[in-house]
Amino acid sequence: MTPTTSSVFLEPLPDAEAEVVELASDLIRIDTSNYGDGTGPGEAEAAEYVEGRLREVGLDPERFTCGQARREGVVVRIPGRDRTRGALLVHGHLDAVPVRASDWTHPPFAAEIDDDLGMPMLWGRGAVDMKDMDAMTLATVRSWARAGVQPDRDIVVMYLPDEEAGGHVGARWLVQNRLDLFEGVTEAVGEVGGFSMTIHDDLRLYLIQTAEKGIAWMRLTANGMAGHGSMLNDDNAVTVLCDAVARLGQMKFPVRMTSAVREYLDVLSEATGAEFDPHDIEGTLTKLGSLARIVGATLTNTVNPTMLSAGYKVNVIPGEAHAHVDARFLPGHEEEMFAAIDEILGDKVTREFINHDVAVETTFDGPSIDLMAAALRCEDPQAVTVPYMLSGGTDAKSFSTLGIRCYGFAPLRLPPALDFGSLFHGVDERVPVDALTFGTRVLGRFLRSA
């Protein structure tokens, strides 16, 4: 099936649109801050809430644990009309990154609605990452249950813990321990895709995530000769480490144009009439506006030092010094990145992984891609879909290891002036109320016919 017009879709169910803001607000009010060390509140309360709202409409979800106290999620499988087809996984994470409330305009867990850019917005931690899609999905399947709707194929809906810390007690744990939950799943849709980028009044690009950079969080260690701070020392671990860290921070990797980024820039060039020169990356990025940070990081491998630690007293030269580094690699270019890093580290600094995860990449074609485009055009006739690569990571990394084809598709029509990229993990996270209702209609159309 290759849908091209709105005639292939049944009309969205209005009750899903009517309750999505309430559901998103309820989820935001549940603090699921993930500090990455097991000290946060966990996701159990949010999982209990989701399970209850699903059972309320007659569905039979499973609330599961992932081997650690308070780390819980929920899964429900909705049988499709054609059970010979591969199932579609719709996944969202319940955790959110921590906040410093004093930095925020509105309390981060109050889920207040207040105007910004001339429109009502829902404010709070998780509003875009990713309790908005959690709510859109929940509203959609609740409306199906009330109306007796059956999708075209099995839909597996999964709410997960621990995405913000790599999914070790979330998606990765499930892939390693609960393969039964993924029976028959061939495709998956999740976060950080499907949102709009306005080119001009009659053209909006909707970015469908088809690729993610790989992750390598590393701990560097330099060893030297400990001694008194007043003495000469030509084997100082701090000096050795800082020299290596400084050179890592100044690394410039060559531009590697992956298919997703190349196609995105080609469409953008055609839409704007601006020529994008792969040899002039800074010039290219200036034409991307608020998305420059997102797209720019997908043109090369990146290595960023983030933490330093050494010593215990000012007049003692320590025998050991440590640094942490966040490295991200393009699909197919992992070996290139590590070779460059190891050349800088030499034999005086060692590295070990804190988190090492795969790059993800799929092609921008097939019936599901066509359906996403058609569902968007039903609600926005000016919508043009394009692929893009995410510089960060999602639970798709874990699911891709099962051979599942993964996309980012959490549809939102956004105002042109909203710096959407800055809201992820940022202060004053917020989502337009109209974008939530828009996304619910689009997601409902897509999932029902997928």
Residues 156 and 50 in one domain: yes
Q: Are residues 157 and 266 in the same domain?
A: no
Residue 351 and residue 381 in one domain: no
Q: Please check whether residue 305 is in contact with residue 245, taking contact to mean a CB–CB distance below 8 angstroms.
A: yes
Evaluate whether 206 touches 106 at the Cβ level (below 8 Å): no
Q: How confident is the model at residue 152 (pLDDT cuts 50, 70, 90)?
A: very high
22-31 tens-digit pLDDT: 999 999 999 9
Non-local CB neighbours of 333 within 8 Å, separated by 6+ positions: 256, 301
- What count of Cα atoms within 13 Å lies in the side-chain half-sphere of residue 444? 30
- Flag whether pLDDT at 15 surpasses 50: yes
Task: Note whether residue 279 is domain-resident.
Answer: yes
Same domain, 230 and 117: no
The pLDDT of 431-447, averaged and rounded, is: 97
Q: Could you tell me the pLDDT band of residue 2, with boundaries at 50, 70 and 90?
A: very low
Q: Strands, E, within 24-150: which ranges?
A: 62-65, 72-78, 87-93, 113-116, 119-123
* Domain membership flag for residue 419: yes
Return the amino acid letter for 297: A
The pLDDT score that the predictor gives to residue 294 is 65
Q: What local confidence, expressed as pLDDT, does residue 126 receive?
A: 98
| Contact in structure between 119 and 40 (CB atoms under 8 Å) | no
Same domain, 316 and 273: yes
Per-residue pLDDT averaged across 234-253, rounded?
Answer: 95
At residue 197's C-alpha, the angle toward residues 383 and 107, to 5°, is 120
Q: What is the pLDDT of residue 269?
A: 78
**Is 62 inside any structural domain?**
yes
249 part of a folded domain: yes
* CATH number of 333's domain: 3.30.70.360
Q: Based on the domain organization, do 386 and 416 belong to the same domain?
A: yes
**Shared domain check, 181 and 281:** no
Is pLDDT at 238 greater than 60 in this prediction? Answer: yes
- Lowest-pLDDT choice from 72-76, 123-127, 212-216, 283-287: 283-287
Q: Decide if 396 is inside a domain.
A: yes
Domain boundary among 303, 328, 356: 356
Q: What would the DSSP string read from start to end of 317-378? A: E-SEEEEEEEEEE-TT-HHHHHHHHHHHHTTTEEEEEEEEE--EE--S-SHHHHHHHHHHHH
Give CA–CA dist 325/395, Å, rounded. Answer: 21
* Strand-strand pairing, 320-329 and 302-310: antiparallel
Greater confidence (23 vs 420) lies with 23
Residues 177 and 225 in one domain: no
Number of domains the chain is built from: 2
Angle, CA of 105, 107 and 112, to the nearest 5°: 90
Residues 110, 253, single domain; the answer is no
Domain endpoint, select from 356, 389, 410: 356
Report the pLDDT averaged over residues 134-163. Answer: 97
Residue that terminates a domain, selected from 323, 356, 389: 356
Do residues 133 and 448 touch, judged by C-beta distance below 8 A? no
CATH of the domain at 34: 3.40.630.10
Question: Residues 149, 33: one domain?
Answer: yes
Q: What's the rounded Cα separation, in Å, for the pair 165 and 185?
A: 24
Phi first, then psi: give them for residue 185, nearest 5 degrees: -75, 125
- In terms of residue numbers, what domain contains 386? 6-211+359-449
Same domain? 368 vs 397: yes
Question: Does the residue 15 lie in any domain?
Answer: yes
Cα diameter, the chain: 81
Is residue 262 pLDDT above 90, yes or no?
no
Q: State the pairing for strand pair 405-408/185-190.
A: parallel
Percentage of residues of the chain with pLDDT beyond 90? 82
Dist. CA 172–CA 184, nearest whole Å: 18
Q: Which residue has the tokens 């196609």?
A: 263
Which pair of structure tokens corresponds to residue 103? Answer: 């930095």
- Which residue reads 């059970």 in tokens? 83
**pLDDT number for residue 291:** 59
Poorest-pLDDT segment among 98-107, 295-304, 408-417: 295-304
Whole-number Å distance between alpha carbons of 205 and 199: 7
More confident residue, 273 or 413: 413
Which residues make beta-bridge pairs with 113? 122
Q: Regarding beta strands 320-329 and 214-223, do their DSSP bridges make them parallel or antiparallel, or are they unpaired?
A: antiparallel
pLDDT tens-digit map of 351-405? 999 999 999 999 999 999 999 999 999 999 999 999 999 988 999 999 999 999 9
- Is the domain of 75 the same as that of 27? yes
Domain assignment of residue 1, yes or no: no
Residue 67 placed within a domain: yes
- In this structure, the dihedral spanned by the alpha carbons of residues 173, 177, 182 and 187, taken in order and rounded to 10 degrees, is 40
* Backbone CA torsion sign across 228, 234, 235, 240: positive
**pTM for this model (two decimals):** 0.92
